[in-house]
Amino acid sequence: MKFQTVCIVVIVTIGFAAGHDNTTFPDGFLLGAATASYQIEGGWNADGKGVNIWDTLTHERSIYVEDKYNGDLADDSYNLYMEDVKHLKNMGAQLYRFSISWARILPEGHDYKINEAGIDYYNRLINALLDNGIEPIVTIYHWDLPQKLQDLGGWPNIVLATYNENYARVLFKNFGDRVKLWITFNEPRTFMAAYASDTGMAPSINTPGIGDYLTSRTVLTAHANIYRMYEREFKQQQKGKIGISLWNVWCEPISTNQVDACERYQQFHLGLRAHPIFSESGNYPSVPVKRVDHNSRAEGLTSSRLPKITPEEVNCRTGTYDFLGFNFYTSNLGKRGVTGGIPSKGRDTGAILSQDAEWPESASSWLRVVPWALRKQLNWIANAYGNPPIFVTENGYSDYGGLNDTSRVLYYSEYMKEMLKAIHIDGVNVFGYTAWSLLDNFEWLAGYTERFGVCDVDFDDPNRPRIPKESAKVLTEIFNTRKIPERFLD
């Protein structure tokens, strides 16, 4: 395995060294922008859509949201999607990553009742994209679980894997003739944490160290079953590709003798999902299994809080990918140490995290600008999992709004430069990039206080006008020239 990886890296490096500029995107590399249904669509109860867990959280516990707002109208993309397509087209985007709202398609989560108005909406969007030469890349689940399924316990309940597979089948049947790139899940790491705190993301359930690991298991089962189902029922005809979008924060050892703390961090936060799918051996990585087993025993539990995977499941899951979607924003510094409640994933991980005060800040407390970390993280993935095809499905910067977003411009150019080094110099197999985000939108618990869009949206205006920011203009230049402009090179 290691030997193979080295071979691939060497061959690719030699291949690119001949004449390829390190600041140019390779032929065939895909460039575009991304959004998610709850953050932009609005139309929360339009035309038969069911209630989802974000409707419930923002309506019943708006106190959790920074500005107490919700996604009832958001960017009104349910009505204004042609505006979004127009801006993508003007930017020269080759693709648009968006997600489908489960409760808009299946109001109660189950596939016995299909909302035709929801099918029509996504048909209109997909057809408009294709008419304008933009390829759709569709996230099947981006955090907006139908409330009826949360009423059954939500993601910790393994039965959701089956319901999720049934929902995915409805999408393949209705849209798979035109959608060729699918992502099963966006950032399981983030929504598993929604079962580890009652002041967090929806559904905000306080079962740390248990509900989060159960969620992780359901997600792995669902992902693998969807991949296999597509193989059996659709792939031959539709010829699409399926991946999963994982999020991670790079962990830079605070000193050279703290490397093991960051390696553990990688295995807990990325490896728990990536290893069963992308490694040759499958299953969970051994480090988290040992640590959670050990802590569970110490806490007096008879069985481990990390549910085991059967050998049959290991086999079924290994290799269930055509690409790895990867969301990346920032870095931490890491060192050994124990923190967090008993029990909790934080305590199980055994790493204490901080950020370097020298790293430039954004509007988000967790997001500092650390471009070199992207190159390191991409190399970590390539080495750990045999250099799989990687699609950077999210990368972006938050501020408080405004059209002259010079910090965001710098963020994109610097991160893209590091990604291109990973591709050209290190031979990492990255084949696509969608900037987060096309639009200012409902940024979850931050409401509308943090802005990630390359297009400004005026949330005081009921018509929700979109205006391209400086960053949209620079991305337009990059998408069209397919290289980093001279003025951003050192």
The residues annotated as belonging to the active site are 187, 394
Q: How many positions of this chain bind ligand NAG (CB under 6 A)? A: 6
| Distances 184 to 168, 219, 227, 229, 389 between C-alpha atoms, Å | 8, 9, 8, 12, 16
Distance CA 119, CA 318 (A): 32
Judged by beta carbon, residue 347 or residue 417, the one nearer ligand NAG is 417
Give me the phi and psi of 416, to 5 degrees please: -65, -35
Are 52 and 38 in contact, with CB atoms under 8 Å apart? yes
Judged by beta carbon, residue 55 or residue 399, the one nearer ligand NAG is 399
Residues in region 424-483 near ligand NAG by CB under 6 A: 424-425
The Cα diameter of the chain in Å comes to 62
Q: How far is the CB of 472 from ligand NAG (least distance, A)?
A: 13
Contacts with ligand NAG, 297-336, as mask; x by CB under 6 A: ----------------------------------------
Q: How far is the CB of 359 from ligand NAG (least distance, A)?
A: 19
Are 474 and 485 in contact, with CB atoms under 8 Å apart? yes
Q: How far is the CB of 398 from ligand NAG (least distance, A)?
A: 17
Cβ neighbours for 131, distance < 8 A, ≥ 6 positions apart: none
Distance CA 477, CA 473 (A): 6
Which DSSP category does 306 fall into?
S
Contacts with ligand NAG, 101-140, as mask; x by CB under 6 A: ----------------------------------------
In this structure, the dihedral spanned by the alpha carbons of residues 311, 317, 318 and 319, taken in order and rounded to 10 degrees, is: 160
Distance CA 278, CA 310 (A): 17
Judged by beta carbon, residue 16 or residue 69, the one nearer ligand NAG is 16
Q: How far is the CB of 16 from ligand NAG (least distance, A)?
A: 8
In this structure, the dihedral spanned by the alpha carbons of residues 399, 404, 406 and 411, taken in order and rounded to 10 degrees, is: 50
Judged by beta carbon, residue 1 or residue 467, the one nearer ligand NAG is 467
Judged by beta carbon, residue 22 or residue 94, the one nearer ligand NAG is 22
Q: How far is the CB of 289 from ligand NAG (least distance, A)?
A: 39
Question: What is the sign, positive or negative, of the torsion defined by CA atoms of 245, 246, 249, 255?
Answer: negative
Give me the phi and psi of 438, to 5 degrees please: -60, -40
Q: How far is the CB of 150 from ligand NAG (least distance, A)?
A: 44
Burial 5-44 (b: 16+ CB within 10 A, else e): beebbeebeeebeeeeeebebeeebbbbbbbbbbbbbbbb
Judged by beta carbon, residue 337 or residue 402, the one nearer ligand NAG is 402
> What's CA 236's distance to the chain center, in Å?
27
Judged by beta carbon, residue 97 or residue 424, the one nearer ligand NAG is 424
Residues in region 206-235 near ligand NAG by CB under 6 A: none
Q: How far is the CB of 352 from ligand NAG (least distance, A)?
A: 34
Residues in region 372-411 near ligand NAG by CB under 6 A: 404, 406
Tell me which H or E stretch contains 88.
helix 77-91
Judged by beta carbon, residue 200 or residue 453, the one nearer ligand NAG is 453
Distance CA 468, CA 90 (A): 10
Cβ neighbours for 82, distance < 8 A, ≥ 6 positions apart: 128
- Which residue, among 254, 253, 290, 257, has the nearest Cα to 271 in the 3D structure? 290
Helix (H, G, I), strand (E, B) or coil at 444: helix
Judged by beta carbon, residue 20 or residue 178, the one nearer ligand NAG is 20
Q: How far is the CB of 328 from ligand NAG (least distance, A)?
A: 22
Q: Where would I find the beta strands (DSSP E) of 269-428?
A: 323-336, 351-354, 390-394
Q: How far is the CB of 21 from ligand NAG (least distance, A)?
A: 5
Are 438 and 471 in contact, with CB atoms under 8 Å apart? no
Residues in region 404-433 near ligand NAG by CB under 6 A: 404, 406, 424-425
Unique residue bearing structure tokens 């959608």: 179
Contacts with ligand NAG, 10-49, as mask; x by CB under 6 A: -----------xx---------------------------
Q: Which residues bind ligand NAG (CB under 6 A)?
A: 21-22, 404, 406, 424-425
